[in-house]
Amino acid sequence: MTPERALKAARAAEAEITAGRWRGPFHGVPYALKDIIDVEGLATTAHSKILKGNIARRHAVVTERLEAAGGVLLGKLSTHEFAIGGPSFDLPWPPARNPWNRDHFCGGSSSGSGAGLAAGFFPAALGTDTGGSIRNPASMCGITGMKATYGRVSRRGVAPLAFSLDHIGPMTRTVRDNALMLQVIAGHDPGDPGSADEPVPDYGALLGQDVRSLRIGVIRHFYTKDVAGNPEQVEALDAAVKLLAEVGAEVSEITLPALQDFSACGQIILAAEAYAVHEQWLKERPEDYGARARERLLAGATLRAVDYLQAVRWRLQLRDRVAAAFANIDAAITASSMDPACRIDDDEALASNYWRQARMPFNVTGQPGLVIPAGFSNGGLPLSLQLVGHPFGEAVLYRAAQFYEDATGWTKRHPPGLSE
Amino acid sequence: MSGELAYLGFAEAAELIRAKKLSPVEYATALLARIERHDGITTPSSH
């Protein structure tokens, strides 16, 4: 945390507002950043010994935008090493834990963002998502996380993991806050080759509307057939679908290619692209990585060009099939995680996290995915659901999510033992 | 304090800040104190 910097920013915000110069809803609002995002003058460590002492020379574009909106940065947040390997106990810093139960995993790789929001440390944070790393901690910690459309948010000044899968997005406790934060960071950046030159709509415009006549596709086979979801998680999803239908949404089941196809395709692309980023460090300083990151990154070392190219072609086919399945719906609902958070020391369950999830499909297609809380397990851990939209269709997701949040009140619950 | 400010959504906080009913300095100070109190539990800060 950087308290002196934060108080200086808070005093500046206060002076401006007192003088009648209110910049908008982010003015004077405390926030925090996953520590792979650059802040001028502060270290960006990616939680790795590799980057220890790496001081950023300028702001990332997202930091610039949040600062220009008057935000008050409280500090940097723990991440899995380079947003890929974790939770790890062999790094210079310990991993974050789940505020709902500290013996449990808080998800990753944007771990500190999810844990800190659930713990009531700040109302807004940024995470990044290459194969699900915003939406996983959102699911595990019972908060709201948006992986917006590929290209919606600039990635300049953020440590890359896989160029064609990387996204940055807002993590908050409420849907409204999430829409407001996306508003601040969304927009074209000619300096990011993946950035989209698409107009930014008013994300709050549809909030408060009901979901009547909204056409919602249910991708149920992801969590019942392709992977058998935990019964409590499946029940929560079925209940959400029932609720949407009862209030007049036009709900119908849709079928996409099997979840495993998206996972395999995405993992090949991720492994190849991440290895391209890390090859030199892996060759020169392999011992400076934690075991989990090293193992996952080395998976890319033996892939051949043809493997990558076939995966890229497969990706286009998958994207076309999903677009066809979405032709007659406004949004879809499916699982994010198949299970509530496992114990942080359960290696087998931690490993299964990578495939017992339905997040990677939308890194592969680039569509927006919004995860919100959907209740609690009998063990008191958060359950979740994911809403998926058309490219650049984030506003519809916020509309449906806001309705669900108001109808259920899940976001009003907070972890026990943190009341002071 | 912290109970109330800790779980305030920022859309609500923004209205209070704009109306000068909540000071950004007070808000940041309260959250920093809360982090200081509990960070050993969830360890979200990396420095």
pLDDT in tens, A139-194: 999 999 999 999 999 999 999 999 999 999 999 999 999 999 999 999 999 999 99
Instruction: Quickly state the pLDDT bin for A120 (edges 50, 70, 90).
Output: very high
Instruction: Quickly state the pLDDT bin for A283 (edges 50, 70, 90).
Output: very high
* C-beta separation of A278 from A84 below 8 A: no
A350-379: average pLDDT: 96
pLDDT at position B45, please? 53
* C-beta separation of A35 from A154 below 8 A: no
pLDDT at position A206, please? 86
* C-beta separation of A211 from A249 below 8 A: yes
Residues A37-65 have pLDDT tens digits of 999 999 999 999 999 889 999 999 999 99
Chain A, chain B: beta-carbon pairs less than 8 Å apart: 162
Say whether B24 and A10 touch across the interface (CB within 8 A).
Answer: yes
Q: What are the residues whose beta carbons fall under 8 Å from the beta carbon of A166, sequence distance 6 or more?
A: A128, A129, A130, A155, A158, A160, A194
Instruction: Quickly state the pLDDT bin for B2 (edges 50, 70, 90).
Output: very low
Instruction: Quickly state the pLDDT bin for B3 (edges 50, 70, 90).
Output: low
- The chain B residue lying nearest A71, using CA atoms, is B24
Residues A295-304 have pLDDT tens digits of 999 999 999 9
Give the Cβ contact number of residue A378 at 10 Å.
7
Instruction: Quickly state the pLDDT bin for A23 (edges 50, 70, 90).
Output: very high
**DSSP state, residue B47:** -
Best residue of A67, A110, A174, A410 to probe chain B, by most B CBs closer than 10 Å: A174
What are the structure tokens assigned to A386, written together?
Answer: 């994911």
**Nearest CA to CA, how far is A291 from chain B (Å)?**
19
Residue numbers in A near B24 (CB within 8 A): 10-11, 13-14, 17, 27-29, 72
pLDDT at position A354, please? 85
What are the structure tokens assigned to A207, written together?
Answer: 């909030």
Out of A18-22, A200-204, A352-356, which region has the weakest mean confidence (pLDDT)? Answer: A352-356
Say whether A26 and B39 touch across the interface (CB within 8 A).
Answer: no
Say whether A10 and B27 touch across the interface (CB within 8 A).
Answer: yes
- What is the ipTM score, two decimals? 0.95
Rg of chain A taking only CA atoms, in angstroms: 20
| 3-state SS string for A276-289 | HHHHHHHHHCHHHC
Residues A397-418 have pLDDT tens digits of 999 999 999 999 999 999 998 8
List the catalytic residues of A. Answer: 34, 109, 133
What are the structure tokens assigned to B13, written together?
Answer: 């906080």
For residues A213 and A258, which has the higher predicted lDDT (pLDDT)?
A: A258
Token pair 């997005």: residue:
A169
pTM: 0.97
- The length of chain A is 420
pLDDT at position A26, please? 98
Percent of chain A with pLDDT over 70: 100
CA distances from A414 to A29, A351, A410 (A): 20, 28, 9
Mean of pLDDT over chain A: 96
Q: Does B40 touch chain A (CB under 8 A)?
A: no
